[in-house]
C-alpha cells in the first residue's frame, strides 16, 4: 500500500513507464498534488509555473471553473455512449464549431481519441480517397524532414527518419518519401535564390514520385517536436500549389499549432491556404481530456464514400466521447470569450522583448519566437536531470529536449508570471553545468 510521496515516487519508478524513459535508469519525476491557473503544486511544497501548458494543451490553465462546470454537467447526464448508431448534442455542437472556425472547405469531422490517432485517420482517409479514385498505386506519403506526427506506426512513418529512429523498426515501419526540411525561416526574405533552394528537394520528390504519393503531410509553419523551427508561409503556399498540380492531397497536422498558439487561430492562416485534411488535438479540450479531430473536405468524404468500401474504415470505441466533446465545447467558448488573439499577441510581445537579447549569449545558437511559443536553441545538449531540478528551484516547469529549451505557456498567464518564466530562461543559459559541452 502506497503511503506518502516518497513511496509514491518509488512505486512510480518501479512500475510506470513515462514518455521516452528508461525503466532501468529513469529520469526523476516530480509528484503533482494539485494544479490551478498556471501553477502546478508539487508534493514537496513548491508551487511552479507551467511553461509547457502540459505539452501545448492547457491553454486556459488548470482547474478552470468554467470548464470544470461544463464537465460536471455532462458527467451528470452521461459520460460516454458508443458512437455507432448513436449521437449526442456535444458531438454535433463541436463538429459545427470546428467547421465554422477552421480554414474554408473543411466540412466533415471525424472525432478521434488522441493526436496520433487523428494522424492515423488522416492517412487512412488519403489512402482510401486515392483507392476510391482507382489510384491504388498512390499508397505512399510525402513529408518533410524534421517533422513529428505522433508515436503510432503510420504516424511514426512520417516523423523524421533520424529523430524518429526508423532504423529501430525497419522491416515493419512503412517507407515513405522525405523532402529536405524547409530551410527558409518565418521572417526570412522570400527571394528567388533562397526560395529555390528551400523548395528544390520538395519539387524533385513531387516530380519523381507523384504516381505513388497519396498525400503530402506536414506541420504547417511550426515544426514542433522535430526541432521547433518556424518556416516561411510562402513555402506552405508552394506546397499547396504542388499538391494541386500533381493531384495529391495536403494533410495539415495542426495538433500542436491549432487554436491560436502560433498567433493565428490555425497556422495555415499564415499562408492563407486550406488543406484537404486537417488534424487537431491537444488544446482542443483545453488540455482537460484526450480528444482529437480529423476534418476533411466534402470532396474527400464523398469520394471515400463512393469507393469500394462504401464507408470510411475507422471507428474507435471512445469515438466522439460526450464528456470530451462537452469539454472541448467549453474550452472553445472560453477561447473566444477570453480574446485569445489579444492574449497571444501580448505573450508574443513580451517573449520577444525579454528573450531575443539572449541570442547573443555564448552558450546559445538561436532564439525564436512566434505567437505564444519561444525557443532557445543552445549550442550544446542539456543535461535533463540537472536542468529540470534547477528550473523547479527557480519556480518554473520547463522541459527541454536535446539542445532545445522552449516554452509555450498557458494563454491566461499574467505579465508577472511570464516574467518569472523568461527570467528563469535568462538565468539558465548562464549555468554552464546544465550543458553537456563535451
- The residues binding ligand PMP (CB under 6 A) are 114-116, 119, 148-150, 219, 224-225, 253, 255-256, 281
CB of 281 to ligand PMP, least distance (A): 5
With respect to ligand PMP, which residue has the nearer C-beta, 238 or 255?
255
Q: Please tell me the distance from the alpha carbon of residue 240 to that of residue 227, in angstroms, as a whole number.
A: 22
Of residues 39, 62, 129, 148, which has the active-site annotation?
A: 148
Active site residue 253: yes
Of residues 20, 100, 187, 192, which has the active-site annotation?
A: 20
Q: Where in 98-205 does DSSP place strands (E)?
A: 106-112, 140-144, 177-179
CB of 320 to ligand PMP, least distance (A): 17
Whether the CB-CB separation of 237 and 164 falls below 8 Å is answered with: no
With respect to ligand PMP, which residue has the nearer C-beta, 56 or 177?
56
With respect to ligand PMP, which residue has the nearer C-beta, 70 or 255?
255
Measured from the Cβ of residue 46, the count of other Cβ atoms closer than 10 Å reads: 15
Partners of 106 in the beta sheet?
Answer: 297
CB of 253 to ligand PMP, least distance (A): 5
Whether the CB-CB separation of 384 and 393 falls below 8 Å is answered with: no
With respect to ligand PMP, which residue has the nearer C-beta, 285 or 350?
285
CB of 264 to ligand PMP, least distance (A): 16
What are the two backbone dihedrals, phi and then psi, of residue 366, each rounded to the nearest 5 degrees?
Answer: -160, 155
CB of 227 to ligand PMP, least distance (A): 12
Of residues 145, 282, 390, 403, which has the active-site annotation?
A: 282
- For the CA atoms of 418, 422, 427, 433, the dihedral, rounded to the nearest 10 degrees, stands at 110
Nearest to 121 by CA among 258, 292, 290, 306: 292
Q: Which residues, in sequence order, are CB contacts of 5 under 8 Å at separation 6+?
A: 31, 43, 44
Q: Please tell me the distance from the alpha carbon of residue 182 to that of residue 229, in angstroms, as a whole number.
A: 9
With respect to ligand PMP, which residue has the nearer C-beta, 358 or 398?
398
Of residues 113, 160, 253, 276, which has the active-site annotation?
A: 253
CB of 128 to ligand PMP, least distance (A): 20
Residue number of the CB closest to ligand PMP reads 115
With respect to ligand PMP, which residue has the nearer C-beta, 35 or 225?
225
Provide Rg for the chain, Cα atoms. 22
Active site residue 20: yes
**Any idea what DSSP says for residue 202?**
H
* C-alpha pair distances (Å), 305 with each of 133, 190, 300, 311: 11, 41, 9, 5
Helix, strand or coil, per DSSP, at residue 378:
strand
- So which residues are the catalytic ones? 20, 148, 253, 282
Amino acid at each position: 500500500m502506497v503511503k506518502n510521496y516518497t513511496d509514491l515516487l518509488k512505486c512510480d519508478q518501479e512500475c510506470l513507464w513515462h514518455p521516452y524513459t528508461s525503466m532501468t535508469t529513469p529520469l526523476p519525476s516530480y509528484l503533482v498534488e494539485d494544479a490551478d491557473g498556471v501553477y502546478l503544486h508539487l508534493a514537496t511544497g513548491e508551487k511552479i509555473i507551467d511553461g509547457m501548458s502540459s505539452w501545448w494543451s492547457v491553454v486556459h490553465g488548470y482547474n478552470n471553473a468554467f470548464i470544470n462546470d461544463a464537465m460536471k454537467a455532462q458527467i451528470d447526464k452521461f459520460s460516454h455512449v458508443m458512437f455507432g448508431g448513436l449521437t449526442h448534442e456535444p458531438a454535433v455542437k463541436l463538429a459545427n464549431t470546428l467547421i465554422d472556425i477552421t480554414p474554408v472547405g473543411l466540412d466533415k469531422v471525424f472525432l478521434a481519441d488522441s493526436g496520433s490517432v487523428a494522424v492515423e485517420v488522416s492517412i487512412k482517409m488519403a489512402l482510401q480517397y486515392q483507392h476510391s479514385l482507382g489510384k491504388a498505386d498512390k499508397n505512399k506519403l510525402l513529408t518533410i524532414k524534421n517533422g513529428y506526427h505522433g508515436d503510432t506506426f503510420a504516424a511514426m512513418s512520417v516523423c523524421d527518419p533520424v529523430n524518429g529512429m526508423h532504423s529501430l523498426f525497419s522491416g515493419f515501419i512503412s517507407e515513405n518519401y522525405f523532402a529536405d526540411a524547409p530551410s527558409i525561416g518565418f521572417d526570412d526574405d522570400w527571394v528567388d535564390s533562397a526560395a529555390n533552394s528551400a523548395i528544390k528537394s520538395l519539387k524533385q520528390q513531387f516530380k519523381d514520385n507523384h504516381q505513388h504519393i497519396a498525400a503530402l503531410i506536414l506541420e504547417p509553419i511550426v515544426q514542433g517536436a522535430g526541432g521547433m523551427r518556424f518556416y516561411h508561409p510562402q513555402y506552405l503556399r508552394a506546397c499547396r500549389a504542388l499538391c494541386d498540380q500533381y493531384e495529391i492531397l495536403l494533410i495539415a497536422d495542426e495538433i500542436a499549432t491549432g487554436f491560436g498558439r502560433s498567433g493565428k487561430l490555425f497556422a495555415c492562416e499564415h499562408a492563407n491556404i486550406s488543406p484537404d485534411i486537417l488534424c487537431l488535438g491537444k488544446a482542443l479540450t483545453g488540455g482537460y481530456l484526450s480528444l482529437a479531430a480529423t476534418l476533411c473536405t466534402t470532396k474527400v468524404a464523398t469520394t471515400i464514400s463512393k469507393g469500394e468500401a462504401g464507408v470510411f474504415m475507422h471507428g474507435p470505441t471512445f469515438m466522439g466521447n460526450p464528456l470530451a466533446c462537452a469539454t472541448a465545447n467549453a474550452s472553445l467558448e472560453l477561447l473566444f470569450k477570453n480574446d485569445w488573439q489579444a492574449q497571444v499577441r501580448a505573450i508574443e510581445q513580451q517573449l520577444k522583448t525579454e528573450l531575443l537579447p539572449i541570442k547573443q549569449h555564448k552558450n546559445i545558437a538561436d532564439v525564436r519566437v512566434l505567437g505564444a511559443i519561444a525557443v532557445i536553441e543552445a549550442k550544446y545538449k542539456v543535461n535533463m536531470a540537472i536542468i529540470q531540478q534547477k528550473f523547479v528551484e527557480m519556480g518554473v516547469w520547463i522541459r527541454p529536449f536535446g539542445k532545445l529549451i522552449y516554452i509555450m505557456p498557458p494563454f491566461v498567464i499574467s505579465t508577472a508570471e511570464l516574467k518569472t518564466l523568461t527570467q528563469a530562461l535568462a538565468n539558465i543559459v548562464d549555468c554552464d553545468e546544465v550543458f553537456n559541452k563535451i
